[in-house]
Structure formats: structure tokens, C-alpha cells
Amino acid sequence: MQAYARPFFQFCYYLLTVIILSACHGQDEEAPPAVVDSNFSAPQLTQTVALGGNVTGLTEGSRLTLTNQGVENMTLTANGEFRFTTPLAPDTAYNVTITSQPTELICDLTNGTGTLGSSDNTALLIACRHWEAAQPLGANDAGSAHSPHLAVNNAGEAIVVGYQQESGRYRIIAHRYTPQSGWENTTPIETLSEGYPAQLQV
């Protein structure tokens, strides 16, 4: 039995030595460094804001069309708040105009141009109203009026210019309108001593 014991103990000693050396070798190894991709960047969220406002004065069945920068169009059919559907980036310039007025209404837009900030912009204000009924411009008590020309500004003020013939001479006349006071009396602008007024412009 002694003859077999020695080789057995030698084998056990060898096996133990291999196990210890393997354990020590595993402890000495360091993990490989992590590989970092320098070109990688986290995705950035893009901030957007909305452009809109409020409309008043529309009547049932009326349609009002707006455009922003001539690119995005919007049709409004009811009063209240509205917004363009396309979100925009902050600091984007906008230019909103009315491209189609409702039938029998006239609508005015304020704050139609500007630059967006960092939050939603609801500064577009649209006020619609009916056209006034037809009114006589003045009594025809000094001869027939000819070639009337009408001009209207954004404030709703108007002026009609024409001419009348009186005592063989021509005089240029004007008739002014303001929303506050209506049509004023006809006033002469100039009386021509000779000649004929042609191609009047307002």
C-alpha cells in the first residue's frame, strides 16, 4: 500500500499547485478598459412653439382664410381661439395675412408680423364686421357729380373724390368718411378757372 500512496500524494500536490497558481493568475488580470465612442452624442430635443390668436365677428356660414409666410394656410369658420397646425422653432419670424375675406364681412388683423419667443404666441387678433349699408354721398345741389374715385385705409376711413360742373367751370370735390362720424358733407378741393379735370387719382 505504501508503494501506491506516494504517487497518489504527488498527484494531489500537483493538482493543488495548479489550482493555486490559476487563482493567483486570475486575480492579477485587470479588466480591459471600456471603449468610449467620442463621436456619440445624446439626441437633443427640439423645442417648438405654436402660433395663433383669436377671431371675433364671424357669422354662421362665413369663411376667413389666413396664410403664414405664404406657406401655411388656415381657414376659419367660427369665432374663438385658433392655431396654425405646424409648430415653429423659437426666434422664427412670422408674417400672417388675410388672403380671403368672408362674404358680406370685412376683417382686420392686428399683430400679424413679428418674431416668436420661447413660448406659444397667441397675439394674432382678428375682428370682423359687416359692411355698412349703402348711403348717399351728398345732396346733388350744385350740378352733376362725375368720375367718383374711392379710397379706403386700414383704419376704415374713406374718401371719395370727383368733380362737378357749375356755371361753366369745373370744381374737384371730396367726400370723407370716418367710422366715428360717418360721411361728412361734400367739400370743394379746387375750382378750375379753365380746362377739364381728367384722370383723377386718390
Residue entry with cell 439626441 = 43
Furthest-apart CA atoms within the chain: distance in Å = 160
* Residue of higher predicted confidence among 90 and 157: 90
CB 117 within 8 A of CB 49: yes
Q: What percent of the chain has pLDDT over 70?
A: 60
User: How much is the pTM?
Assistant: 0.51
| pLDDT value at residue 184 | 80
Express each pLDDT in 4-28 by its tens digit.
555 555 666 665 665 665 555 555 5
Residue 112's pLDDT is 95
Q: Please, how many CA atoms are within 13 Å of residue 61, restricted to the half-sphere of its CB?
A: 2
- Residues 6 or more apart in contact with residue 16 via CB below 8 angstroms: none
Mean pLDDT, the chain, rounded, equals 77
pLDDT of residue 142: 52
Instruction: Let me know the angle formed at the C-alpha of 69 by 67 and 72, rounded to the nearest 5 degrees.
Output: 45
Spans of all domains in the chain: 51-130, 145-192
Residue with cell 404666441: 121
Helix, strand, coil tally for the chain in percent (to 5): 15, 40, 45
